[in-house]
A and B are shown apart, each in its own frame.
With several copies, the nearest count.
Chain A
Amino acid sequence: MARFVELLTEPFNPGQFVGPFTNAHPGLGGVCTFVGEVRCDAGVEALELIHYERMTLKGMQELADTAIARFDLMGLLVVHRTGVMRVGEPIVLVSAAAKHRREAIEAVDFAMDHLKSDSWFWKREKRADGWHWIEPRERDHSDLARWA
């Protein structure tokens, strides 16, 4: 079992993480990977993610441990950006390696739901008239409730 959890302040290339992660698990059945990027929304010039150093990384590590225990994983990779990002830059990468595909896919789904709405990140968007904080969404709560 390998758990890789990283918070990055600079742009990253998902392939540089997924390749070595996959190769580190010979004999696996499947790897599911999700990469979230800064979406091209009308009027959004940039996105900033604020984190709280001493809680954010620890929370991600605990989430990874929970996912590993819940799904039968061979390995889990979680990489998250912080700071200011432009449209098209990767924000988050989750990759799960497992013997069977359903476990890998479900672990990624689980980890993404929790990273998005149950991790210590605060986001704001830059528009023509300045920065705007992004509030929690109702959809996030219903997504999370699926795993209760």
Chain B
Amino acid sequence: MPITVVFLGKLADLAGTPEKEVEAPLDWEGLLDELQGPLGDAAMADRTRVAVNGELLADKTALSAQDGDEVALLPPVSGG
């Protein structure tokens, strides 16, 4: 089973899709390899968080996703 990468908010615009599938396993370097140009920059931005199966990673560079996992890229939420 592949890994699903989910793009939230404006990252979906940058990715041109709300989600894509990638081969398992996936670490932080592997994820950045999948993300081109501004999307990669946005992923690296301090305020962009990463969650695996709905659980936030304290340190996104420690990403270690396996078969069937869902990896979400979460940009800063919008203001009120």
Contacts and interface: CB of A to CB of B under 8 A. Distances in A.
| A and B in direct contact, judged by CB atoms within 8 A | yes
A31 B74 CA distance: 30
Contact of A133 (B74, B78, B80): B78
B54 A54 contact: yes
Chain B interface mostly helix, strand, loop or mixed? loop
Given A52-B72, A120-B74, A58 B10 contact: no
B77 A118 contact: yes
Given A120-B74, A122-B10, A140 B54 contact: no
A121 interface: yes
B79 A137 contact: yes
A136 B78 contact: yes
What class of interface size applies to chain A in its complex with B? 20 to 34
A136 B79 contact: yes
Contact of B79 (A54, A58, A134): A134
Interface of B: 6, 8-10, 12-13, 51, 53-54, 70, 72, 74-80
13 contacts: A50-B8, A52-B6, A54-B70, A117-B77, A123-B78, A124-B10, A133-B9, A133-B78, A135-B76, A135-B79, A136-B79, A139-B80, A140-B79
